[in-house]
Amino acid sequence: MLLFLEQLLNGVQLSVTLLLMASGLTLIFGIMSLLNLAHGSLFMTGAFVAAWVSGETGSWALGLLAGAGAAFAVGLLIETVVMRRLYDRDHLDQVLATFGLILFFNEMVRLVWGIRPMRLDVPDALSGFVEVVPGAPYPVYRLVVIGAGLAVMLALGWLVRGTRIGMRIRAGSVDREMIGALGVDIGRLYSLVFALGALLAGLAGVLAGPFLAVQSGMGEPILILAFVVVVIGGIGSLKGAVVGSLVVGLTDTLGRVYLPDILAFLFGEGAAEAGAAALSSMLIFLVMAVVLAVFPSGLYGRKG
Amino acid sequence: MHRKPAAIAAAAAFAAATALSSTAALAQEPVKIGMVTTLSTGAGYLGDHVRKGFELALEQSGAADRVELLVEDDGLDPAQASQLTQRMVERDGVKLMTGSIFSNVAMATIPKLVRNNDVVYVSPNAGPAPLAGKGCHPKYFNVAWQNDNLAEVMGQYATDQGYERVYLLAPQYQAGKDSLAGFKRFFKGEVVDEVYTKLGQTDYAPEIAELRDAAPDAVYFFYPGGMGINFMKQFAQAGLADKIPALGPAFSFDDTLLDAVGDAAIGFYNGSQWSPDLDNEPNRKFVAAYIAKYDEYPTLYSSQGYDAGNLIVSALTETGWSTDDTDALAAAIKKAEFDSVRGDFRFGNNNHPIQDLYVREVYKDETGNITNRMVAEVFEDHQDAYAAECEM
């Protein structure tokens, strides 16, 4: 039971990282109708710049600021140079162009930082443990990631629900022609939303950096999960991103842990060993399929 | 009248000079060696280190001018490797090849190559089981190890240490299963659990929580490349590094990966055929020269490239720097008359190494660099488990 609580915590922590990725992805998709495969590259940018700056200066906080800032800046840059030309094209063109960006960024970090993976450690102040569950010391840093992610999401919720910019963003996601006709500068609104999504992705990259190998291509595995979150939650819905992240994070974590036992109980030891690893990596996609069968536009997606 | 002899003499001198210079040119025609290796993708540093070690060996032995090394990147793609290899053999007339890093690439390239062409192949890394067993070939050599060797040594070490309950983890693919099988071949205790994770998995928190709950005497894991970085960081962050001894094959513990993991890697044990502090003259010379030339620590891949280079130089010296007679070349390679950085080295019946295997420990040296040092010699003159299946 205590172990189960700890696994829940692990699941929530994965959910928070996914949420930071998926919220940007869903806003960009919902408002600009832009399918951005290069979102994982912004995750990678955040992690690399943070690893580099904190390695050079010895300060983790500076690394965090630099990593998130760099992702924001790169987001603005690619919005201006590339994305702007894609808003009116169909989704296949967008997929091709942003897939090209993935290749570009993966090669770019290799040219700049070499083929060796970079090092990004847990900051010293946060490297301790707390016994959230008795007898199972849990890393403080993982708790901080959960807390930081939730704080950022609350801030984002306030931005979208409680401010004038947020009102425009919401209006833009419902009817972009109308708010353009009402005199809102759509171009600037789009740049802002895209860069905001980039900032969140960069932040996710910095926060996840200490668990992960900071290397070229590190953004793709998380990107795939983030897309599943967006699809489950419903495109364009922040509330959907929250629920979707929890569904994916918990299903993936708990599935990996408990599926072998469940299968062993149902089908015997041998079948479980062969099937569990394969099935648990498919599990979130099965969940996605079921959700789509019942709610064709996702849990919180708009109908039609 | 008396101009003629002078003219004849001049002509003769000219002819002699041309003839001489052309034989000189013949003698200097360099031997072509083909190296199709993995230089790009996240694992590109493996091939890069093999090449660096190989080139250092050529340079030190004064063979650099007698050899033309053709290098191509296979991009970790079996089809591309096959194509590049075929092109070197057909277009460039190469009869001596090396470079394979990954077993899946090797299996797609080497069996076909040595069966259909008059070519000798020396693998500096990949050692898949079929090529050591039933699929062995007189023209194919592996100068590194058979894949299972570095897992077997950890299995024996776990037995020697008296660990009774060991927890095993590996990614769900062929090499992962082979590695755990190699460990179990020499581990006499109880396997608490055998966990297969998704290939390329990044988050190991749930598996690590299960592992701590099982409280084994030790954990053995096979996570090469980025997966190794992820696993080790998270294992140490979970506070298990000084509680549960962690063992693995050397593939997760080269200096490039250790550099990315940082202090979290200190105290991990790993099985290898080589260590930077291995106490013999060729190794001391190699480590010092490598650091001087490339300004980084050599990895086991560098050492394998270096041994491959010296092995090939020793064979070419015997054949008079010719690869025309591949039977003679293979016979010269089989003798393995070179100074290996591993000390004793010879080929078994299946052209795979018979060598000593060691356990190393990750530590921080006096310069603050995180690297490996020798802990124990576990196997002496160890041969792989497939040699008996090879009819040579």
Mean pLDDT confidence for B143-169:
96
Burial B229-260 (b: 16+ CB within 10 A, else e): bbbbbbbbbbbbbeebbbbbbbbbbbbbbbbb
Residues B229, B297 within the same domain: no
Q: Which domain holds residue A192?
A: 2-218
- Whether B211 has its CB under 8 Å from any CB of chain A: the answer is no
pLDDT of residue A290: 95
In a domain, B46, yes or no: yes
pLDDT over 60 at B13, yes or no: no
Residues B153, B244 within the same domain: yes
- Whether B241 has its CB under 8 Å from any CB of chain A: the answer is no
pLDDT of residue B19: 47
Q: How far apart are the first and last CA of chain A?
A: 43
Instruction: Report the run of H or E that residue A4 belongs to, with start and end.
Output: helix A2-32
Residues B221, B368 within the same domain: yes
Residues B162, B233 within the same domain: yes
Residues B376, B233 within the same domain: yes
Do A104 and A96 meet the contact criterion of CB atoms below 8 Å apart? no
CA B320 to mean position of chain CA atoms: 26
Do A278 and A49 meet the contact criterion of CB atoms below 8 Å apart? no
Taking contacts as CB-CB distances below 8 angstroms, the residues of chain A near B256 are 116-117
A 10 A CB-CB count for B124 gives 31
Amino acid of residue B12: A
Confidence of residue A178 (pLDDT cuts 50, 70, 90): confident
Distance from CA of A253 to the nearest CA of B (A): 6
In a domain, A165, yes or no: yes
CATH number at residue B86: 3.40.50.2300
CA B117 to mean position of chain CA atoms: 24
- What would the pLDDT profile of B242-280 be if each residue is shown by its tens digit? 899 999 999 989 998 998 898 889 999 999 999 999 999
Residues B73, B132 within the same domain: yes
pLDDT over 50 at B24, yes or no: no
d(CA B323, CA B335): 16
Taking contacts as CB-CB distances below 8 angstroms, the residues of chain A near B227 are 213
A-B CB pairs within 8 A amount to 106
| Cα torsion through B337, B340, B343, B349, rounded to 10 | -60
pLDDT of residue A32: 86
Do B222 and B179 meet the contact criterion of CB atoms below 8 Å apart? yes
pLDDT over 50 at B25, yes or no: no
A 10 A CB-CB count for B12 gives 11
pLDDT over 60 at B69, yes or no: yes
CB contact under 8 A, B259 and A119: yes
Of B194, B205, B226, the CB nearest to A13: B205
A183 Cβ contact list (under 8 Å, min separation 6) = none
Instruction: Tell me the pTM.
Output: 0.85
Do B374 and B333 meet the contact criterion of CB atoms below 8 Å apart? no
User: How many domains does chain B divide into?
Assistant: 2
d(CA A41, CA A45): 6
d(CA B137, CA B134): 9
Max intra-chain CA distance, chain A: 66
Beta-bridge partners for A258: none
In a domain, A254, yes or no: no
Residues B137, B204 within the same domain: no
| Helix A140-162, helix A2-32: angle, nearest 10 | 30
In a domain, B4, yes or no: no
pLDDT of residue A102: 95
In a domain, B22, yes or no: no
pLDDT over 50 at A196, yes or no: yes
In a domain, A63, yes or no: yes
Of B196, B237, B263, the CB nearest to A139: B237
What does the DSSP 8-state code read for residue B37? E
Residues B33, B134 within the same domain: yes
Counting other chains too, the contacts that B65-69 makes at CB distance below 8 Å and 24 or more residues apart are B65/B28, B65/B30, B66/B28, B66/B30, B66/B31, B66/B316, B66/B321, B67/B30, B67/B31, B67/B32, B67/B33, B67/B316, B68/B30, B68/B31, B68/B32, B68/B33, B69/B33, B69/B35
CB contact under 8 A, B237 and A141: yes
pLDDT of residue A175: 80
What are the residues of chain A with a beta carbon less than 8 Å away from any beta carbon of chain B? 3, 6-7, 10-11, 13-14, 115-119, 121-122, 127, 129, 136-137, 139, 141-142, 210-218, 221-222, 253-254, 256-257, 273, 277-278, 280-281
Taking contacts as CB-CB distances below 8 angstroms, the residues of chain B near A212 are 202, 229-230, 233
Candidates A43, A250, A281, partner chain B, best to mutate (most B CBs within 10 A): A281
Mean pLDDT confidence for A188-203:
94
- C-alpha distances out from residue A51 to A62, A156, B80, B136, B301, Å: 10, 25, 34, 46, 26
Comparing C-alpha atoms, which of A126, A153, A160, A154 is closest to residue A140? A126
Report the residue of chain B nearest A217, measured CA to CA.
B42
pLDDT over 50 at A272, yes or no: yes
Q: What is the ipTM of this complex?
A: 0.84
pLDDT of residue B4: 54
pLDDT of residue A229: 96
Do B272 and B372 meet the contact criterion of CB atoms below 8 Å apart? yes
Beta-bridge partners for B196: B170
In a domain, A276, yes or no: no
CB contact under 8 A, B263 and A3: no
B356 Cβ contact list (under 8 Å, min separation 6) = B273, B342, B343, B344, B377, B379, B380, B381, B382
In a domain, B388, yes or no: no
pLDDT of residue B383: 95
pLDDT of residue B226: 83
A 10 A CB-CB count for B79 gives 12
Do B358 and B374 meet the contact criterion of CB atoms below 8 Å apart? yes
> What is residue B382's three-state secondary structure?
strand
Residues B136, B220 within the same domain: no
Distance from CA of B166 to the nearest CA of A (A): 18
Distance from CA of B384 to the nearest CA of A (A): 27
Comparing C-alpha atoms, which of B75, B70, B144, B146 is closest to residue B108? B75
In a domain, A297, yes or no: no
Provide the H-helix boundaries in chain B: 4-28, 44-60, 78-91, 103-116, 129-132, 149-160, 174-186, 205-214, 225-237, 255-261, 281-294, 300-318, 326-335
pLDDT of residue B28: 57
Please give the structure tokens belonging to residue A209. 């950096």
User: How many domains does chain A divide into?
Assistant: 1
pLDDT of residue B187: 96
> What is residue B280's three-state secondary structure?
coil
Pairwise pLDDT comparison (A276 vs B140), residue with the higher score = B140
Q: Categorise residue A236: left if φ over 0, alpha if ψ from -120 to 50, beta otherwise.
A: left
Burial B22-49 (b: 16+ CB within 10 A, else e): eeeeeeeeebbbbbbbbbbbbbbbbbbb
Please give the structure tokens belonging to residue B357. 């295997």
Q: Which domain holds residue B330?
A: 28-145+278-347
Least confident of A47-61, A169-183, A237-251: A169-183
pLDDT of residue B23: 46
Residues B113, B245 within the same domain: no
pLDDT of residue B7: 55
Residues B166, B282 within the same domain: no
CB contact under 8 A, A117 and B209: no
Please give the structure tokens belonging to residue A17. 């990282």
What does the DSSP 8-state code read for residue A260? H
pLDDT over 60 at A177, yes or no: yes
Residues B156, B264 within the same domain: yes
pLDDT over 80 at A275, yes or no: no
pLDDT over 80 at B63, yes or no: yes
Of A10, A213, A216, the CB nearest to B209: A10
Burial of B280 (0-12, 13-18, 19+ CB in 10 A): middle
Supply the mean pLDDT for chain B: 90
∠ CA A32-A36-A38, rounded to 5°: 145
In a domain, A246, yes or no: no
In a domain, A58, yes or no: yes
Candidates B40, B202, B211, B301, partner chain A, best to mutate (most A CBs within 10 A): B202
In a domain, B11, yes or no: no
CB contact under 8 A, B209 and A6: yes
pLDDT of residue B124: 97
